[in-house]
A and B are shown apart, each in its own frame.
Chain A
Amino acid sequence: MNHKGDFLSLLKHKDTLQVDGETSREPNTKALIHDAFQLPSQEKATYGTTLEIPEATTVVAMRYNEGIIIAGDRRATAGTAVVHDRAEKVLPIDTHSVLAISGAPAMAYEIARVLKHSFQYFRRSQLQELSVEGKLRTLSRLIRENLPMAMQGIGAVIPIFALYAPQTDESKNGGKIYFYDALGAHFENVDFATTGSGSIWIRGVLRYLDRWGETQLENMDQQQATVTILRLLDTASEYDAATSGYNAKAEIFPTLKTITRQGIETLSDQYLAECYAEVT
């Protein structure tokens, strides 16, 4: 039996679903375990090559007065082709945490899915929520194990992980933002983070706003934070072909979510349309 609440080890060990040596008769159980999630390619990476990370997107997260606001554009590209204009890059993982992805979508979605199941499995088996540190390490491990794919230039994933720690003192902001490198190192608890090809155009703006802006990012209310994020994404889309702006004709808005003490909320298109009135 798996007593550690480690979902990956549950998937990897085919003898897990047994009670005292009796194999479960669950149809396909053995096959399920056999075929269970194989962490990306075990092939040898070509070391010494430059790590090129295809991360054609812009995702951004920042702290505001109620927690975290986290956003991503909707464009998915392959080279210079736009292949999809409704991609979701901001993915809820549990009630209080969100992963914003940039990089190879196949790996990124899989990492998000494994993460979601890992957190759930830990809670269900160990009867308590996985700690913030535990969640961060799980994600680190997934990114690190994805390194061979990253080294081959086809599967790098550089996410932003944001969460709200509900046990935080009521008077404090429990929102936390973590960003990662391709090796899985996490850098924690910053006021803002952005990643993806469009991020270089807005990172400096974020720093400027936080330091010298009229209202510091963390003191903004939801409306101000939303308008700021929309303006940032608009700026990124102006200079980065892989980042989409607001498509008024098709009414495609970026994805914006807030994470507060109450949980995750997806900001509605109607609300975003009202905020856009201030952007344009």
Chain B
Amino acid sequence: MRDLPYRWIEAIQDRRDYIEDQLRLGSPVVGLPYTHGSLLLTVSKGAQKIFEVHDRIALSAIGHPADIERLRMLVTDTASVQAFQSATEDVNLHRLTHYVLAHTFKQAFEAIVGEAYIIKMLLVEIGNGDAATQFTHINYDGNVKVQQEAAVIGGTTEIEDAMQNYLASEQNDAKPDLPTALQLALKTWAVGRELSQRFEEAEDNTEVTDEQIDEIINTELENGEIEVGVLDSTLSGDTKFRLLTQDEIQASRSTN
């Protein structure tokens, strides 16, 4: 098919449409820094969606569970071997992203006779010493976007843009404490969730009111659970990742 460039481009476009269609309804993920580290938040139904990759690196994704698991294991294995062979401090998100994940995503996406990964991934690393916190967004086609203030993944680019706009309008310069960051992340998640359900009817309308945010949170929590993973620099020991308990999440939600 490669000797017929137009057919190849067409096939890639078909593949893009197919994957985006599959991802559209995925439960978004929000990554935000807070005073002592960074958090990842989503609402999930049963299966865990936020994972520890290494001491200072966490991962979340939307997409097909089998693809998420496969790529999660790839990055976890690589980080573990590297840390053992060299040192834990030598494992960093930049290398994992650019030398392990991005090209794997791209290769699978462009090998049109093989299966593509239905996945969008968000990774976060909290800096060691002077190094800054960074969020890395990897698209199913291998495109990488690195952000420092906050990052989101949602079903479509439009949903992600709307979530980012909401975050920008609510965030101020100071880093929030954990309860404030968690509440803002949950509202941002709700914006994405609302839009992913609405899009087919009203693609152009990305306005989400506070009432709609509250309503969608209440509805979704009837069947789902908030999941929050934090990289907390104040934790003693090498591992900075932990999942918050439901009690901690509820306590943070009810803090003013």
Contact = CB atoms under 8 A, between A and B. Distances in A.
Give the most central of A1, A24, A26, A114: most B CB within 10 Å: A26
Give the most central of A7, A20, A33, A37: most B CB within 10 Å: A20
A38 to B, nearest CB: 12
Interface stretch (B33-41, B50-58, B198-206, B244-252): B50-58
Interface residues of B, number: 30
B105 to A, nearest CB: 10
Given A124-B76, A127-B51, A33 B103 contact: no
The A interface, classified by DSSP as helix, strand, loop or mixed, is: mixed
A123 interface: yes
Interface residues of A, number: 35
A117 B237 contact: no
B104 interface: yes
Contact of A29 (B54, B73, B81, B115): B81
Contacts of B70: 1, 19-20
A2 interface: yes
A24 B48 contact: no
Contacts of B239: 95, 120
A12 to B, nearest CB: 11
A263 B236 contact: yes
B80 interface: yes
A114 B100 CA distance: 24
Contact of B81 (A32, A127, A263): A32
A10 B237 CA distance: 24
The B interface, classified by DSSP as helix, strand, loop or mixed, is: helix
Contact of B77 (A2, A114, A127): A2
Contact of B104 (A16, A22, A95): A22
**8 interchain residue pairs of minimum CB distance:** A121-B80, A117-B84, A26-B99, A32-B85, A26-B100, A124-B76, A124-B52, A19-B74
Given A17-B78, A20-B115, A35-B85, 19 more contacts: A1-B74, A3-B73, A10-B80, A11-B84, A19-B108, A22-B104, A24-B100, A24-B104, A29-B81, A36-B81, A36-B84, A117-B80, A120-B80, A120-B239, A121-B80, A124-B80, A125-B76, A263-B236, A263-B237
Interface of A: 1-3, 7, 10-11, 16-20, 22, 24-27, 29, 32-33, 35-37, 92, 94-95, 113-114, 117, 120-121, 123-125, 127, 263
